[in-house]
Amino acid sequence: MKNASEQMQILQILYEIAMSIGSSLDLNQMLKASLSTLLKKLNCSAGGIHLIKEARGRVSFEQVYSIPRNTGRNETYQLALQNLPPILAKKELVNFFQRLPLSGQSDQGNYFHILELPDLGVLIVVKMGQDLDPLIVKSLHPLQKKLAEACKACLTKEALARSERRFRQVVSSISDHVYMTEFTGEGEQINRYIAPNAETLTGYPLEKFRNDWSFWPTTVIHPDDQALAAVQVERFAQGQNSEIEYRLVRANGNIIWVRDSGRVEKDEDQQRWTVYGVVSDITERKQVEQTLKESEKKFRTLAETIGSAIFIYSDQQCLYANPAAEEMTGYSRMELLKMDFWKLVHPDFQEMIKESDLISLHSKKSSSRYEIKFLQKDDQERWGELATRGIDFEGQSAELVTVFDVTKRKQAEEALSMAYQKAVEASRMKTDLLANVSHDLRTPLNAIFGYTEMMQEGVYGPLSGRQQEAIKKIIGSTGQLLNFVNNLLDQAQIDSGQVVLKTLPFAPADLVEGVTSIMGLLARTKGLKLISHIDPALPPTILGDPYWLRQILANLVSNAIKFTEKGQVHINLARLNEVYWSFEVSDTGPGIPPDVQAFIFEPYQQEDTFTSRGSGGSGLGLSIVKHLTELMGGKIDLNSEVGKGTTLTVALLLFSEEETNEE
């Protein structure tokens, strides 16, 4: 038990230590004064403050101050440090603090004490020679608490200072202008702070604002917007937050747009409040908005006047429909905005649209086009060409759907299609009729032709000169008619698809011989030379349909003779190459004008000057030739010059019997 004097001395010392704690709000200064006094008064040789450092849920003790500064050479201090956990989970901290105070002794007989700084860390003191009295150690507890509180105050101040520094840095680094104005319930306005950025924003020196607080509202704010700004100040004066946009006239005369946003913080007594305001340059945004407005106006004008229906959907909800959409569907715009898209689509097309993901409304950026049927309000069906495209509409993903009413075009197409079907049918009936008629005509014609020839040959008795003349004309006309009927029959066969080609071996020479023997008489009659030539390179026998080939050649030769008044008709069979052979018929006739050449191969076409009446042709010859040639896989080529003559060349695939056998 200590005597009264000793107890008094202890109390005095503790008091002196206590008075030294918290003498400064600078952590280092405070710790220096406190720890120095503590160590001196307790006659200790070293001491240190270790604060809890937390990271990721784990804590350690960080030495923030010590006397002497380098405790690394103090063996007893190092021994004390060994009793501090290097790192531990935050939840274990309570257990560690419960073990404090910790004391220990070094081999040299020096002592250490680890004392708690509540919620903050520990204080280590080293005493050499003689240990601290346990009563003293116990008595230090209030000082430990005071020291902890003083440290916290310093740390808080440091944190505040850091925060303020950061705030100032932020304020000075941002382009926005910041101000702070205080209002009182009595309507008094005290401008507390104006950031240096005001200079950058307005181009005026900062002193202008600091020396004259009315400079901003009366000079810098655009005259047209000063009334608006005054309303804002009135709101602030009433303790209300306010955000407005107005124009500023910069020192150089340029006008900029700003957003002035003020937030009110009221004191606890509600009698005084501070407005923290930020003035941001929004000129660029305003310009963009203006551009967008103009762009939107153009779009709206276009959308409102265009003939196509325009819908904008988002999540199957119609966000926009134009007047054309109203007209096209029969629904009002309000009805369309509330309607499900699928109600507009004809049931027959819904599946197709869904399958094709056409109206997925998933904002695909690629566009798609389809023709669909849609339903009007009165259930009338209409055809529309529908196109979709993903767009951003008022900040959300949407689908732009345009529908162009193609009902009339569709109706025209349908009418045309029906007309075509009818025409095809009529053509087929005509072909059938022609085939039947031709067949029915040819049978009696053959009889007439045969009997007339027999009469000419005197089978039924001798004929007078006049009779001979008449018979000759009958035979000529009958032959002409028979030829015409045969052509009609061939054309009918071709048109009705009844021609079946055969592949038979034949000698090209026979082909030429067969035609010249028939056509030679006709040529001689007109005083023309009919000359033929066969290319020796042509195989003696080739494969093909000799009947139809003879028809082709005969047609060509017949036409050539028909249209040639003088000169010659030349038949030339040639081997063009390893793949093709050809027969060529040239005449010295009037030639075919270029405009006629374009349709010379169409059925029933003849050049006016060489009408069937004039030339005695049916107008079917070249059409038949072309059809047959193409059926055989060949092609026909026309080369004609008015006044010089015409050459028609039929080129056909060469299949010789020998080559086929070889294969």
Give 73 or 365: the residue with its C-beta nearer to another protein: 73
593 is a contact residue toward another protein (CB under 8 A): no
CB of 27 to another protein, least distance (A): 15
Nearest CA among 328, 404, 340 for reference residue 371: 404
Give 9 or 421: the residue with its C-beta nearer to another protein: 9
Give 137 or 518: the residue with its C-beta nearer to another protein: 137
CB of 268 to another protein, least distance (A): 35
Binding residues among 533-562 for another protein as defined by CB under 8 A:
none
- Sequence-ordered alpha helix ranges (H) in 21-123: 27-41, 75-81, 93-98
Task: Report how many residues bind another protein under the rule CB under 8 A.
Answer: 33
CB of 46 to another protein, least distance (A): 6
Nearest CA among 224, 43, 33, 5 for reference residue 127: 43
Answer for the pair 465, 421: CB distance below 8 angstroms, yes or no: no
DSSP 3-state helix, strand, coil percentages of the chain (rounded to 5)? 50, 25, 25
Per-residue b or e along 554-567, where b marks 16 or more CB atoms closer than 10 Å to that residue's CB: bbbbbbbbbbbeee
Q: Which stretch binds another protein (CB under 8 A): 10-18, 117-125, 391-399, 600-608?
A: 10-18
CB of 12 to another protein, least distance (A): 4
The residues near 393 (Cβ < 8 Å, ≥ 6 apart) are: 312, 314, 319, 320, 400
Longest dimension (CA), the chain: 188
Q: Which stretch binds another protein (CB under 8 A): 4-12, 87-95, 97-105, 652-660?
A: 4-12
CB of 74 to another protein, least distance (A): 7
Give 135 or 447: the residue with its C-beta nearer to another protein: 135
CB of 127 to another protein, least distance (A): 8
Give 109 or 223: the residue with its C-beta nearer to another protein: 109
* C-alpha to C-alpha distance for 238 and 185, rounded to whole angstroms: 8
Q: Which stretch binds another protein (CB under 8 A): 8-16, 143-151, 350-358, 610-618?
A: 8-16
Answer for the pair 237, 189: CB distance below 8 angstroms, yes or no: yes
Answer for the pair 620, 488: CB distance below 8 angstroms, yes or no: yes
User: What is the full DSSP assignment across 6-24?
Assistant: HHHHHHHHHHHHHHHTTS-
Residue keyed to tokens 């004191």? 267
Answer for the pair 217, 265: CB distance below 8 angstroms, yes or no: no
* C-alpha to C-alpha distance for 15 and 35, rounded to whole angstroms: 14
* C-alpha to C-alpha distance for 279 and 289, rounded to whole angstroms: 19
Q: Which stretch binds another protein (CB under 8 A): 5-13, 169-177, 199-207, 454-462?
A: 5-13
Question: Binding string, 74-93, against another protein, x = CB under 8 A?
Answer: x-------------------
Give 66 or 558: the residue with its C-beta nearer to another protein: 66
Among 56, 73, 365, 613, binds another protein (CB under 8 A): 73
Give 40 or 286: the residue with its C-beta nearer to another protein: 40
Per-residue b or e along 134-160, where b marks 16 or more CB atoms closer than 10 Å to that residue's CB: eebbebbeebbbbbbbbbeebeeeeee
CB of 165 to another protein, least distance (A): 22
The residues near 85 (Cβ < 8 Å, ≥ 6 apart) are: 60, 61, 92, 96
Give 63 or 605: the residue with its C-beta nearer to another protein: 63
The residues near 243 (Cβ < 8 Å, ≥ 6 apart) are: 259, 260, 261, 262
Six token digits for residue 42: 């307790």
Give 147 or 264: the residue with its C-beta nearer to another protein: 147
Give 74 or 623: the residue with its C-beta nearer to another protein: 74
Binding residues among 11-70 for another protein as defined by CB under 8 A:
12-13, 15-16, 19-20, 32, 36-37, 39-46, 67-70
Give 28 or 290: the residue with its C-beta nearer to another protein: 28
Binding residues among 100-159 for another protein as defined by CB under 8 A:
128-130, 132-133, 136
CB of 186 to another protein, least distance (A): 43
10 is a contact residue toward another protein (CB under 8 A): yes
Among 2, 8, 134, 637, binds another protein (CB under 8 A): 8
CB of 166 to another protein, least distance (A): 27
CB of 26 to another protein, least distance (A): 13
Give 34 or 532: the residue with its C-beta nearer to another protein: 34
Give 63 or 261: the residue with its C-beta nearer to another protein: 63
CB of 71 to another protein, least distance (A): 8
Coil vs helix vs strand at 590: coil
CB of 30 to another protein, least distance (A): 14
Give 109 or 205: the residue with its C-beta nearer to another protein: 109
Binding residues among 288-317 for another protein as defined by CB under 8 A:
none
- Give, for 202, the enclosing helix (H) or strand (E): helix 197-202
Give 38 or 51: the residue with its C-beta nearer to another protein: 38
**Bond preceding residue 539 cis, omega within 30 of 0:** no
CB of 136 to another protein, least distance (A): 7
* C-alpha to C-alpha distance for 288 and 291, rounded to whole angstroms: 5
CB of 104 to another protein, least distance (A): 17
For residue 617, with 0-12 CB atoms within 10 Å meaning exposed, 13-18 middle and 19 or more buried, which class applies? buried
Nearest CA among 311, 316, 98, 274 for reference residue 190: 274
Six token digits for residue 602: 């169409």
As a three-state string, the secondary structure of 522-533 is HHHHHCCEEEEE
CB of 43 to another protein, least distance (A): 4
What φ, ψ does residue 351 adopt, rounded to 5°? -60, -45
Residue numbers at the binding site for another protein (CB under 8 A) = 8-10, 12-13, 15-16, 19-20, 32, 36-37, 39-46, 67-71, 73-74, 128-130, 132-133, 136
